[in-house]
Structure 1
């Protein structure tokens, strides 16, 4: 047999189809690699969340799905929770640290996912008070360090909570001392949390409030949320990627035409 014949024989041999077992193994390896990459991204970089309650409406509506940045503020003891599905926790590994690793501190006005000290589930609210601030609500108006926070009425709307209770609300554009603006809404200025004592935010803690001011259990309720330690921050909300009315499960594709809120998809959250 000539050298060219031997070479052709080797090429023909190497081109033989793989066995069924080999193809199954390669498929398994690819799936495992993909899962590991997804877990690393979700643990360290970006994590999807959904909104089940009305406390951040209209900024984040019930049925909104959004991506949160997990590395911008570094990593605290609750950073490696992968979320819950009903009563099932996918992963909730608590790091034995009291501070944070890497990252920066949040800015006033950022939207934060965090773990309140009295709770074992994630909340989402806006960072209103920084360490050392004095926060108070008087007759529905927010005060930061004794100064009233400006707000401008921009209209009215109907707001429906997770129990199906619909109320008319007044919508405002509120401007923080650092110049950032956002939308809030109020049922009125004489609701239960519209007149509070002065809250003095401890060092290393933050004061959180929902944008739906009269339908939010937040740092104004010290027994439920209270001051949030820096180490309990999990991620910063960045952008919506999906939105559907009535909290309909996204996998029910047949419900999309009548219920998906296309105008809320692929938009930054601020």
Structure 2
């Protein structure tokens, strides 16, 4: 009888430990770091297919989309603890109004009230050109698991932030190389991918469009793994030969 009581106590302790572990994991995922996988090439060369990163959930405060099933459960409206606002050039993880159960990652190109336009493949923000400097040719794994080759450029935004982009199609000939002037509404942001000819973003108003402030989830903290787009993270027997070790712990910017 005493043995049964001891076994029952052990089982209860294990159940309680498991419960605490689950609660801790949910708290960390909700308020601190959430893992995120890069499935497509829209942010090449900054983020590659097969990159795995942690998202800083507290970077811009919290909204209902910070919580599990936030796309379905209206925990609350707006944002809380948003001491820092998203800035031009930030890499942002968000939900689109048309697909609010799916995560997206793009670069913030327009803030509320900004005028954004593409002219011959060159970005203009409030009539100021984001200057481009050719870096060279870039090659990596593309969305179809084939080799993607494109020109790589350093883009300088009007606020002085520099980052890399790629251009696959000659300037002026891609579908989003020439656009009308987009006026970013109050409480919304304009997002674009660094792979300018391979990104569904705010230039396509029917799919992504302007992103409401409360749909923003966070910003990347660092990469914790990278498969190079060739393998899944669970294919551990391929890690030694296929992983991109140079990208691990890299901070995207």
State the TM-score, normalized to the length of structure 1: 0.86
Work out whether residues 62 and 246 of structure 1, in 8 Å CA contact, stay in contact via their aligned partners in 2: yes
| 2:241 aligned residue | 258
Gaps of 5+ in 2: none
Aligned: 1:127 with 2:108? yes
| 2:128 aligned residue | 147
Deviation string, structure 1 residues 235-269 (Cα, Å, up to 9, x no partner): 11121110002352212211111110000001111
Deviation string, structure 1 residues 12-59 (Cα, Å, up to 9, x no partner): xxxx9x822222221221111111101011011211100000000111
Match of 1:230 among 213, 228, 251: 213
Higher CA-based Rg: 1
Alignment coverage as a number of residue pairs: 247
| 1:43 aligned residue | 30
Work out whether residues 76 and 95 of structure 1, in 8 Å CA contact, stay in contact via their aligned partners in 2: no
Aligned-pair CA distance for 1:152: 1.1
The 5-angstrom pairing of residues 95-114 of structure 1 reads: 95-103=74-82, 104-114=84-94
Q: Give the secondary-structure state (helix, strand or coil) at the position aligned to 2:96.
A: coil
Gaps of 5+ in 1: 1-15, 83-90
Aligned-pair CA distance for 1:167: 3.4
Work out whether residues 52 and 247 of structure 1, in 8 Å CA contact, stay in contact via their aligned partners in 2: no
Work out whether residues 145 and 230 of structure 2, in 8 Å CA contact, stay in contact via their aligned partners in 1: no
State the TM-score, normalized to the length of structure 2: 0.92
Work out whether residues 117 and 179 of structure 2, in 8 Å CA contact, stay in contact via their aligned partners in 1: yes
| 2:62 aligned residue | 75
Q: Supply the distance in 1 between the matched residues of 2:151 and 2:237 (Cα, whole angstroms).
A: 34
Q: Which sits farther off after the overlay, 205-214 or 237-246?
A: 237-246
